[in-house]
Structure 1
């Protein structure tokens, strides 16, 4: 999903990428790059990585662990996570379009380890609240994002909260029947409304997938290369801030930590 295609239909959810591979190679290939106007949400469905941030501490993100980065007015990142013990990782990166009051606001990073991600039945609550469980991530109101793991043949339903008329899911492993079969690497959109979403995992392999539901983002999308804003003026301010940070970043020199990562540059 990109802001120029399904993101327009599913906003505030505007970008989704399923990534997988050797974290050592992925980190080497990923350049430092900027964002503004959005929050990035990285959740892991396989393997583990190390985070090391002077403002947020050091630890490990495994299955269900989350990196939340509110880019706000501007940030550079891309190398703040390094390889853990696993040979392979898999996960999703999601972009959430921020409301006008936050899109050019302060930057914030949170790293929530798996044991701190609340669980309700088969669902881990990545953002928002579900079935009495609330994520510690300080995301805007009106958004729910879940990581769900079903055993073979298991059935599960999710009822969006009142006003959460945007709904979708994407499969990381196995396959799910939600009225039609959705397989690994695919996503599906639910009709606009607040009806329950019904899921049945593949009878042989089960399924791991993410589900998003939200109050619609009633603002236009103004797109930069790595930025999403609600107006041309907000986009221009974000891109100006990114350029200023880029100049400072070039002057900062080697910022690698002892674990080999490069902290987020705010």
Structure 2
């Protein structure tokens, strides 16, 4: 699970130690285990948010952990062309390569540590597929796709695409160097990630060495979620156990603590987690398939617009 890493985290900016006299640590409200399923043309996923109340996830809607799977030659799979409206998709590639193309002319190839950020807004068509050389050779495939809701005022925003190279993420370290934190979007302790968001959010991928722990400040007006990509550890000041494929929903407060178990398995030598938080939109959510709107009538209209060809046409040359 390489993503972006450094040989010596102690050379990076350090997370400011949280003041224990002023800190309100976030306690764990629930821990759920993501069920497994298949997406697109048949690649395996874990449905990270399954069974969790949307009110606890707000402003997030959906998240899949894609893989972790080792494909043989001819086995890599992607998605066919499909529409979206009313939200943003964030695809974070940890291992492997994925190519994207959309009807707005956006797209490109993302690989270890890269992120593609697509604002569907009023409507867009897109496709995600492994490049031909990966289909021919096979290889490791692992990543995340997150859906971020848009408020009513931005449901029909102009579609846009952001190509975020892994080298652009903000890298931070815990005070002892035991935790490496990658800020993909939003702000953590005054360090901003490169992703430009319509909805105020923070996305951080943290890797903790066995036995390490880290406490990070967290905006009190944001919700807080911790999803485990791999490894075993604990979350919250009361050290609630959590493992691969599990999601913790945290209560109110202004800091998050995660810690890695001293012993990890051979498949996951470190404890890898994603910290997610955002400012709740607190609007009605009506969703069906690829559309996330405020009312059922708006979802029906999205399907009608798609069938009528009003969400874009194919193909659009990348960069047009």
Do Structure 1 and Structure 2 share a fold, with TM-score over 0.5? Answer: yes
Superposition pairs for residues 1-266 of structure 1, below 5 Å? 1=48, 5-20=52-67, 21=69, 22=71, 25-28=75-78, 30-50=79-99, 55-56=105-106, 58-63=108-113, 65-79=114-128, 82=131, 87-121=139-173, 122-164=180-222, 166-178=223-235, 179-191=239-251, 193-204=252-263, 205-245=269-309, 249=313, 252=314, 255=315
Displacement, 1:246? 7.3
Residues 49 and 62 in structure 1, CA contact (< 8 A), matched pair in contact too: no
Spell out, residue by residue over 1:18-69, the C-alpha distance to the aligned partner (whole angstroms, 9 max, x if none). 11133964435x2222211111111123334455679457454213x11111
Identify unmatched segments of 5+ residues in structure 2: 1-47, 174-179, 264-268
Shift of 1:206: 2.1
Secondary structure in 2 aligned to 1:235?
helix
Q: Is the 8 A contact 1:41 1:93 kept in 2?
A: yes
Contact 2:81–2:127 (CA under 8 A) maintained in structure 1: yes
Of the two, which has the highest radius of gyration?
2
* 170-179 vs 240-249, which moves further: 240-249
* Cα offset, 1:72, TM superposition: 0.9
Q: Is the 8 A contact 2:100 2:129 kept in 1?
A: yes
Q: Is the 8 A contact 1:103 1:234 kept in 2?
A: no
What is the CA distance between 1:197 and its match in structure 2?
Answer: 1.1
In structure 2, what is the Cα distance between the partners aligned to 1:238 and 1:111? Answer: 26
How many residue pairs were aligned?
A: 252
CA shift in 2, pair 1:177/1:3, >3 Å: closer
Q: Post-superposition, which runs of at least 4 consecutive aligned residues in structure 1 deviate over 6 A?
A: 83-86
Deviations 1:45-96 (A, max 9, x none): 3334455679457454213x11111111112223255367671121111111
RMSD: 3.0
Contact 1:27-1:79 at 8 Å conserved across structures: no
- The TM-score normalised by the length of structure 2 is 0.69
TM-score, normalisation: structure 1: 0.82
